[in-house]
Amino acid sequence: MQSDYSRYFSHNALGVKKSQIRELLKLTAKPDIISFAGGLPDPGMFPVDWIREAAGAVLEKHAASALQYGKTEGVDPLRDQLLKYLGRQGIPVNREQLMVITASQQGLDLVTRLFIDPGDVILCGAPTYIGALQAFNSQRPRVMGIDLEDDGIDTVRLAARIRELAAQNTRPKFIYLVPDFQNPAGVTLSESKRREIVDLAEEHDLLIIEDTPYRQLRFEGEAPPPLISLNNRRVLSLFTCSKILLPGFRLGWIAGPPQLIEKLVTLKQSVDLCSPTFNQFILAELFEKGRIEKQIERIRQAYREKRDLMLEMLQAHMPREKGVSWTRPEGGLFLWVSLPERVNTGELFQQAIEKKVAYVVGEAFYPGGEKKNSMRLNFSFPTTEDIREGIQRLGRLIRESL
């Protein structure tokens, strides 16, 4: 007889839901299914030789330190390289404004622990990154989504919502944004909207959480300034090496006001003491050798070609005349397909699996699951052959459903 342990769980633990994406990936793991579901980098782009070379150099020069516990803030060689790297991007910070984390997902968990009490209001785009929703919901806040437009979150509605809350004597704890090639929609927040949002935060005494894993993966167009460069008192920025190098390192970093970084360091000490020290030294070595920028260029070229191919195949095989549309991202890993409102992509998903093709159901990216007629497609992981065949299968399925 199976025991029921739920009576032992905390209220917060009872509120935590499984990631719909992680559960979907179990269904799409079969080798005969073409999957556009995961947000996975192309493993063929992993710089294995550079990693091997860097690991050897670290063991030769820094073995005693690299194989030992490290500082919670991050090892000094890596933090020094990150300060230079951020400076080249127009983000001048010092050591007190920077800490290393175990990828940006840990950053979201730490931000949740630092700021959110049950019932607090969080503002975000709708749709938004499901991993952020999962982290926030562990503390049972009220997450309010604001519709996205082609150039990012609707700032008119955002301002109106902030005023409505102020009239109720409620101040949001923060605004959460993925400003560059947003996950899941692929849209980029325009510079004018970035300045509007920073002004709103200043006017209403709010914080902004800038989640920016894809910023370096720009294929075309001009990059708007990072939010943190517009106001370093109001913005905490999360970064990761998972998309620009490889996810297996589980390394990222947070930049922001020193008082917030100091508190995040304290919280991280209770979570994992420090991020993987050996991996930090390897990453520092790669930065020092100039490998990271070269790797980013390699990835940009490869992903640009895959994005172009997916857009070409969507144009050829999707029934636009029946109300099907999609975003055209200038970078990143994803694009967003919208179907007529009468179509439920959750109900369509099982039929897609039967046709050996998979996507992520759009409903999962809305705080209340309120919209059900969209899907996220990833173009970085599938091969070009899979993109060609998979979009044809998906196009046929959608035509049949309409």
Q: Kindly report, residue by residue over 98-117, the tens digit of the pLDDT.
A: 999 999 999 999 999 999 99
- Asked if the model's pLDDT at residue 270 lies above 70, the reply is yes
**Identity of the residue numbered 304:** R
**Does the domain spanning 48-289 belong to CATH 3.40.640.10?**
yes
Q: Are 47 and 292 in contact (CB under 8 A)?
A: no
Q: What is the pLDDT of residue 15?
A: 72
Overall average pLDDT of the 179-206 stretch: 98
What is this structure's pTM? 0.96
Gap between the Cα atoms of 26 and 24, Å rounded: 5
DSSP symbols for 173-238: SEEEE--SS-TTT-----HHHHHHHHHHHHHHT-EEEEE-SSTT-B-SSPPPPPHHHH-TTTEEEE
Gap between the Cα atoms of 361 and 372, Å rounded: 8
Q: What is the pLDDT of residue 12?
A: 83
Gap between the Cα atoms of 345 and 70, Å rounded: 46
CB neighbourhood size of 149 (10 A): 17
Gap between the Cα atoms of 204 and 63, Å rounded: 49
pLDDT tens digits, one per residue of 15-70 = 777 766 666 666 666 788 999 998 899 999 999 999 999 999 999 999 999 999 99
> Where along the chain do its domains lie?
16-45+294-401, 48-289
Per-residue pLDDT band for 14 (boundaries 50, 70, 90) equals: confident
Per-residue pLDDT band for 2 (boundaries 50, 70, 90) equals: low
Which CATH number fits the domain 16-45+294-401, given the four candidates 3.90.1150.10, 1.25.40.10, 3.30.1370.100, 3.90.550.10?
A: 3.90.1150.10
Q: What is the pLDDT of residue 19?
A: 67
- Label residue 46 exposed, middle or buried (CB < 10 Å: 0-12, 13-18, 19+): middle
Which uninterrupted H or E stretch holds 292? helix 291-317
Gap between the Cα atoms of 100 and 240, Å rounded: 9
Q: What is the pLDDT of residue 27?
A: 61
Strand spans (E) along 172-224: 174-177, 207-211
Overall average pLDDT of the 187-213 stretch: 98
Q: What is the pLDDT of residue 8?
A: 87
CB neighbourhood size of 73 (10 A): 22
User: Quick check: bond before 184 cis, omega within 30?
Assistant: yes
